[in-house]
């Protein structure tokens, strides 16, 4: 069920894989027009569009665009204005951070680059939309993880950008309140995607399948449903918040749970 009765324009950066793609599917299921950006050479356009066709969904508009390239951003905004007039919902989905295997991988340049890709577009894209379209989107959603609160291997800079986004979202909600822009962030448990496995290692999937609590895994569609609901009009009383989609798992995971079930796990 949706509170939305009109076709909306949804901009999803980095939306051709994983969580971004699933979010696009969910909005398309409700008849919305998705605009999806991607990095150079990361997909075959026809293959991607066929996934929507096979599901009987309206085709998204695809645009190669680097979120930190000002010329790309300007061109993207102008194309959206020409084709669709503006953007109703902006999903800031691009997340890029250098892998950190030890302190020798720390550098100021790497950290700043991670922030530039993973944090700044949520601010700059929103401002550019007003400059080009004459209005802001009604909803701006960012994506986070539990990295700010717990250790994940190789995840130092990724966690730092998630933390920064979760703080900024509160201030952005304040600054844009009178303009009616609703900012929120969705935080989830690790969702198994190619991007995640590139960060923590492919062996991680097998490990958590062995020691995870059955039924607590958060899948792609569940994440997409929460994002859709937050932008549906039914949750407009929630602003400037980091929403957890973890099935309550964070409370029960850890050494105590593994100790209680050590015979089952063979440890």
For 127-162, what is each residue's pLDDT tens digit? 999 999 999 999 999 999 888 888 888 889 999 999
What count of Cα atoms within 13 Å lies in the side-chain half-sphere of residue 102?
1
Alpha-carbon distance of 153 to 99, in angstroms, equals: 9
pLDDT above 50: residue 2: no
Alpha-carbon distance of 49 to 61, in angstroms, equals: 9
Give the mean pLDDT of 213-225: 82
pLDDT of residue 43: 67
pLDDT above 80: residue 42: no
pLDDT above 90: residue 260: no
Phi, psi of 189 (to 5 degrees): -65, 165
Locus of tokens 């990361």:
42
Domains of the chain and any CATH numbers: 9-260 (3.40.50.720)
Mean pLDDT is lowest, of 15-29, 97-111, 248-262, for 248-262
For 164-212, what is each residue's pLDDT tens digit? 999 999 999 999 999 999 999 999 877 776 676 666 667 777 777 777 7
List Cα–Cα distances, 23 to 29, 82, 132, 199, 250, in angstroms: 10, 24, 25, 21, 24
Q: Which residue has the higher pLDDT, 255 or 173?
A: 173
pLDDT above 80: residue 246: yes
Residues 6+ apart with CB under 8 A from 245: 186, 187, 188, 189, 218, 222, 223, 226
pLDDT above 60: residue 1: no
The proportion of the chain whose per-residue pLDDT surpasses 90, expressed as a percent, equals 63
Give the mean pLDDT of 89-116: 92
Give the mean pLDDT of 233-256: 88
Question: Is this structure's pTM higher than 0.85?
Answer: yes
* Strand-pair partners of 140: 90, 183
């Amino acid at each position: 069920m949706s509170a939305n009765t009109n076709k909306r324009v949804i901009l999803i950066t980095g939306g051709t894989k994983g969580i971004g793609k699933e979010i696009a599917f969910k909005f398309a299921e409700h008849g919305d027009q998705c605009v999806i950006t991607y990095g150079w050479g990361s997909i075959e356009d026809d293959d991607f569009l066929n996934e929507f066709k096979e599901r009987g969904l309206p085709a998204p508009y695809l645009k190669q665009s680097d979120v930190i390239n000002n010329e790309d951003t300007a061109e993207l905004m102008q194309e959206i204005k020409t084709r669709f007039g503006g953007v109703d919902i902006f999903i800031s989905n691009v997340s890029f951070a250098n892998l950190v295997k030890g302190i020798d991988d720390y550098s100021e340049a790497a950290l700043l680059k991670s922030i530039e890709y993973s944090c700044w577009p949520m601010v700059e894209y929103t401002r550019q939309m007003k400059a080009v379209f004459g209005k802001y989107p009604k909803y701006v959603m960012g994506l986070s993880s539990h990295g700010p609160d717990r250790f994940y291997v190789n995840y130092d800079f990724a966690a730092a950008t998630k933390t920064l986004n979760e703080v900024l979202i509160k201030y952005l909600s304040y600054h844009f309140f009178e303009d009616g822009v609703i900012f929120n962030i969705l935080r989830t448990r690790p969702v198994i995607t190619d991007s995640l496995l590139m960060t923590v290692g492919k062996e991680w999937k097998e490990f958590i399948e062995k020691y995870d609590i059955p039924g607590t895994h958060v899948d792609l569609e569940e994440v997409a449903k929460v994002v859709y609901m937050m932008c549906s009009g039914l949750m407009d009383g929630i602003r400037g918040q980091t929403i957890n989609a973890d099935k309550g798992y964070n409370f029960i995971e850890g050494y105590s749970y593994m100790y209680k079930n050590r015979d089952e796990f063979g440890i």
